[in-house]
A and B are shown apart, each in its own frame.
Chain A
Amino acid sequence: MPLNMDLKAFNQRILPVQGRLFRLAQMFLRNREEAEDAIQDVFLRLWTNRKQLESYQSVEALAVQMTKNLCLDRLKSHHKQKTSNETDMVAMQAADVSPYRQVENSDSAGLMHRLIGELPEQQKLVLHLRDVEEYTLEEIEEVTGLSNANIRTILSRARQKLRENYLKAENYGTGY
């Protein structure tokens, strides 16, 4: 029974953020199944370490960090696999085109998704936390450890870069 109570408390703290973690993972991994798999891993790790959770100020910030790190690790190992197999990157990418990915390339939302994916890691993360999840600057500080001013700069760069690339892709030609 105490174990069950434990689980209930855990669920109450963790489940509300699962949507956020999922979206973050999806942003990094660009694949639904892989994102679900990644956050399941995060939840299981949090669950095994539940005793230590009490000492963290924000479980959400911790969970976001864990998700980010896990996704980056997975991307790295994917990358290694790809290069060690000496497969043509393009061919490889074409091979794992999921239905989602196919849709992605067809409309402007898909284009955005891809362009965000192409941003540098830090810009991607900060942009996602702010513009999709609507985090306050303080919350972003907590997750990234960056300073307030730094976050603003990164955010500004990410937004401009995204716009620039979007215009390029859509052939608008002119600046804003």
Chain B
Amino acid sequence: MNNSMRSFALHLFVLAILVVLFFTVSEYHSGNLARILVLSVYAMGYNLLFGYTGLLSLGHALFFASGMYGLGLAMQHLGTPAAPAMLVGLISAFVVSAVIGFLALRTSGVAFMIVTLMFAQAGYLTILLAGKYTRGDEGFVIPQADRAIGSIDLSQSDTRYFAALILFAVCFLFIGWLVQTRFGKTLVAIRENPERARMLGYDIQRHKLLAVIISGTLSGAAGAAYALLFGYAGATFSTVQYSIYPLLWVLLGGAGTTIGPLIGAIFMTYLIDISSEYTNAYMLIAGLALIFLTLFAPHGLAGVLRKKWLPWLP
């Protein structure tokens, strides 16, 4: 079996486990998992830019929020049904990421981080300033009756789980395929040594811009799905904290691996969930776990797997 087949088999295996989990865990955990699957899509989008292209953004919450508000505002104010509203969310994230990418990629390194952070802050403030439509900090609830595609009610735990899983599966297989293509390999070359890649004849700027757009659109898809499946859009999702989360999930799970974002999101969510049962200082425990993982597994959990046992892991 060659590496591509192994990789494809692994992706299918992960998806099969996620199907089985729904039927074996309690409703509380399946609800948690549905949320994790949507946030993993966000982390996968982030990982394409950070883990595969080597661009550290601190403004991805803006892309997540673009999808979320694109869908939410269309449903809330225009009465758009869920499926076309999802498309509006995707288009919003696509346009915002193309514009931000075009402007922010005039910088690199620390400057790129700062510029993306500033754009995200500007987005957050815009959401607050447009409170008449967005209801500012308070956000707005999407009525349960509207959260349906055709006759499928997405507010129910089982349909919500499988809708999240379908979105996750599509993005997971897409990323798994993308990183094996010429485009994906070029992104890795750019991450490793951009100047060398340019000398070999690759158009670095074009590749980076495409990476920002794909990454931003995936993040926006996660934002739109979050609003649709969990029925809420709020300014909290556009804060710096929501730009930091995918970075943490990806670092913990393994940057530059397709499975890392899922592992990181599961690990972080459950670490906080379990530790908060025992202490109010659960963020301290999460922080300590992060420090230990950074010290002893700097490539993240999937990075360790790849380094020690599965060198073919994509």
**Do A and B interact?**
no
Task: State the A residues within 8 Å of B (CB).
Answer: none
